[in-house]
Amino acid sequence: DVKVTQSSRYLVKRTGEKVFLECVQDMDHENMFWYRQDPGLGLRLIYFSYDVKMKEKGDIPEGYSVSREKKERFSLILESASTNQTSMYLCASSPLDPTGDEQYFGPGTRLTVT
Amino acid sequence: GENVEQHPSTLSVQEGDSAVIKCTYSDSASNYFPWYKQELGKGPQLIIDIRSNVGEKKDQRIAVTLNKTAKHFSLHITETQPEDSAVYFCAASSPSTDSWGKLQFGAGTQVVVTP
């Protein structure tokens, strides 16, 4: 059974802290994605990666960075957390198919920044 | 870039009735249109998808239709059941050179099926 796991289901951090969200997939997928989910706004792409050490900005990259040192692992970093980064964060992976393919999602991390 | 609009934002239906969710997209080059279902506390999961060379696709009680000319696609759920209650997202993918299979999602529809 395919699986995408995220390091935490719930996380509470203070303003200004550096926050790491980790995602691991076991499907040998080339593509990995980080989304942010907010009510009424759907899923917005923060960053994605199509290969190890490769990364591309999504629609809302400001305030975030990513790291992909191994194919199965994709980390989202909030360099200095702010209250407006309180949200649900979803990781996904997919095969490398420019014509589009199913993305497999993790269960999400609900981050609260106080 | 691609822009996807989804309506309605909430949908209440009686058990056994049909539910329809509609999405429009802006990029005429988009050619892959998946639908995801997100249950409470879980990540979205693909329930059905359609490619631009097909006008309709069915899988048991769910179906998706695509109108390329009008640039809209719809999800149809027949004989709704309480377990269909969830948030549904439509998405579109454009094969532009820098897309790498990215999906642009709609805002989501909260479907509530009442017994």
Q: What is the pLDDT of residues A64-114, one digit of tens each?
A: 999 999 999 999 999 999 999 999 999 999 988 767 788 999 999 999 999
- Counting residues of chain B whose pLDDT is more than 70, the rounded percentage is 96
Cis amide linkage into residue B8, ω under 30° from 0: yes
Is the CB of B43 inside 8 Å of chain A's CB atoms?
Answer: yes
Task: Name every residue in A having a CB less than 8 A away from some CB of B.
Answer: 4, 31, 33, 35, 40-45, 48, 50, 56, 58, 90, 92, 94-103, 105-108
pLDDT digits (tens, 9 = 90+) for A35-52: 999 998 999 999 999 989
B93: chain A residues, CB-CB within 8 Å: 99-100
DSSP characters for chain A? ---EEES-SEEEE-TT--EEEEEEESS--SEEEEEEEETTTEEEEEEEESSTT--EE-S--TTEEEEEEETTEEEEEESS--GGG-EEEEEEEE---TT--PPEE---EEEEE-
Tokens of B15: 């058990």
CB pairs under 8 A between A and B: 71
B108: chain A residues, CB-CB within 8 Å: 40, 42
B32: chain A residues, CB-CB within 8 Å: 99-101
Average confidence (pLDDT) over B80-106? 87
Contacts of B111 (CB under 8 A, 6+ apart): B10, B11, B12, B13, B19, B21, B77, B80, B84, B85, B86, B87, B88
How much is the mean pLDDT over chain B?
93
Looking at residue A101, its pLDDT comes to: 81
Among the ranges given (A26-30, A31-35, B64-68, B92-96), the one the predictor scored with the smallest mean pLDDT: B92-96
Cα separation, B18 vs B58, whole angstroms: 14
Task: Say if CB A88 and CB A41 are below 8 A apart.
Answer: no
